[in-house]
Amino acid sequence: MTDIAYREHDVNNNRQESMSFLEGVERMVDRATLVAGLDPDTAKVIKACDAVIQIKFPVRIRHSVKVFTGWWAVHSTHRLPAKGGLRFARHVNQDETEALAALMSYKCAITDIPFGGAKGGLRIDCARYSVDEMREITRRFAQELARRGFINPATNVPAPDMGTSYREMSWIADTYKTLFPEDVNQDACVTGKAVERGGIPGRTEATGKGVQYALQEFFRHPEELSKSGLDDGLAGQRVVIQGLGNVGYHAAKFLSEEDKVKIIAIIERDGVVLNEDGLNVHDVRQHLAETGGVKGFPGGEYSEHGADALEMDCDILIPAALESQIHAGNAMHIKARLIVEAANGPVTYEADEILRDRGVVILPDIYANAGGVTVSYFEWTRNLSHMRFGRLQRRFDELRGMTYLGALENMTEKQAPPGLRTEIVRGASELDLVRSGLDDTMRSTFQEIRDTIKRNPAINDYRTAAYVIAIRKLAQSYYDLGLVAPPTE
């Protein structure tokens, strides 16, 4: 049986936070500004959200009119389009939307994705509406945003986030097309679409895949690994994951199936399911889809105390649900040696300070979950080029592979084994190219984070390093535009 220590939690899950999500993100920028020796006025410009719109729109549902509230926040436009996920959830508000838009700016900057940062949100309890009603609500919201220029291939491009998927993105793309049929780049107005509706293979699972690549990269560097005190190799690491939605499911699936980590706990809205021998992620997801929760899953032990499981004994904790899950009230009790922030903002500013003091290593959100926007960038580029990646060179690469193979077999007078033969002559599929670009982004970004720490002895954590890189790049852009003083090295 797996141990969870049950502590008394108040209704707010013992949160003792003194600042909002947005204030927490701004404090992280302030911390990095100090370390980077950046002009505080430049930091003010970087932190400011350029624009935010609140939209209230009516939809007739089951013979009565309901008025919905949504937001689109544009944090930075030094590069265009501004890019960000569209969140559909009950708790959505302006503070959260602005905080998430700011994270998008920093995320795009550290991964060298030439986008500004934005975020959208609709306050809605999706479970209360049928598919037809959701389609109507989404289309109305998209219409309101698009006719004001807040959905547009050149300026504002949403993507899936919590509560939305390829389904909503395809509805939004279709709404945009009916409004602007003459726009030749209409497919690029939104990313994360279904593949058959202009999407790209590999986008659905991109964020979870990126989490896997980030972890693989971390485990490639013994000196980084030693900071966490974890053993060599991902195989056998005991992982707790919170949230088995798009990001959590794909991260858990790839890590357990390909890297052989043991998923010993999955925390969902209704509690946690535990199995010290490792849970079958696919089966838990199936159970979740059928019943709406993890309770009653036959392959593990159930407890209703989901929040307590964040504190259970494990090697790696992957929060992949909501923000502010690890806070001043529980940070002292976290036992994981490594936290991988698959969600946006799962660790509050105050918790981050506590965890840093305790030596817990954190792969921060603006790096760890950047896989989604990375592949969105590929999708947007593909939509603008009106051609799938690899179309021109795939058969050429195959021919070249066959030529190499023929030459090799002639010279050695031996035949290559069939598996190797297939690999050598195979031209890359579009999914191969997407995965390769994603892996490269996650590796090179981590290396830049490491280099920043090596060059600056005042930095000893990945989050501060990631923010330093991001704000330096943003400061340089704003300086190039004549908006701020020259950045110092």
Contact residues toward ligand NAD (CB under 6 A) are 85, 160-163, 207, 242-248, 267-269, 306, 320-322, 342-344, 369, 372
C-beta of residue 163 within 8 angstroms of C-beta of residue 192: no
User: Nearest distance from residue 97's CB to ligand NAD, in Å?
Assistant: 11
Closest separation between CB of residue 391 and ligand NAD, Å? 26
Rounded CA-CA distance 382/384 in Å is 5
**Which residues share a beta bridge with 236?**
none
Catalytic residue status for 119: yes
Does an H or E element contain 70, and which? strand 64-74
Question: Which tokens in the block code for residue 19?
Answer: 């600042």
Give Cβ neighbours of residue 305 (< 8 Å, ≥ 6 apart): 4, 6, 271, 272
* φ, ψ (nearest 5 deg) of residue 347: -110, 125
Q: Looking at beta carbons only, is 244 or 466 nearer to ligand NAD?
A: 244
Provide, rounded to whole angstroms, the least separation between the CB of residue 287 and ligand NAD. Answer: 12
**Alpha carbons 347 and 365: distance in angstroms, whole number:** 9
| 161 or 461: CB nearest ligand NAD | 161
Give least dist CB 293 to ligand NAD, A.
Answer: 8
Report phi then psi at 143, rounded to 5: -60, -45
**Of 206, 172, 201, 195, nearest in space to 88 by CA:** 172
Nearer to ligand NAD, 230 or 273 (CB): 273
Residue by residue, what is the 3-state secondary structure of 417-470?
CHHHHHHHHCCCCHHHHHHHHHHHHHHHHHHHHHHHHHHCCCCCCHHHHHHHHH
Q: Provide the minimum distance between the beta carbon of 468 and ligand NAD in the complex, in angstroms, as a whole number.
A: 21
Give the Cα separation of 246 and 307 in Å (integer). Answer: 20
The residue length of the chain stands at 489
CB of 326 to ligand NAD, least distance (A): 12
Residues 108, 113: Cα–Cα separation, whole Å: 5
**Which is closer to ligand NAD, CB of 32 or CB of 342?**
342
Q: Tokens in use for 6?
A: 């049950």
- Kindly tell me which of 284 and 475 has the beta carbon lying closer to ligand NAD: 284
Which residue among 47, 83, 119, 473 is the active-site one? 119
Is 101 within 8 Å of 75 (Cβ atoms)?
Answer: yes
Task: Decide whether 110 or 230 has the Cβ nearer to ligand NAD.
Answer: 110
Q: How far is the CB of 245 from ligand NAD (least distance, A)?
A: 2
Residue whose CB is less far from ligand NAD, 294 or 469: 294
Residue nearest to ligand NAD (CB): 245
Chain center to CA of 59: 31
Please identify every residue annotated as catalytic: 119
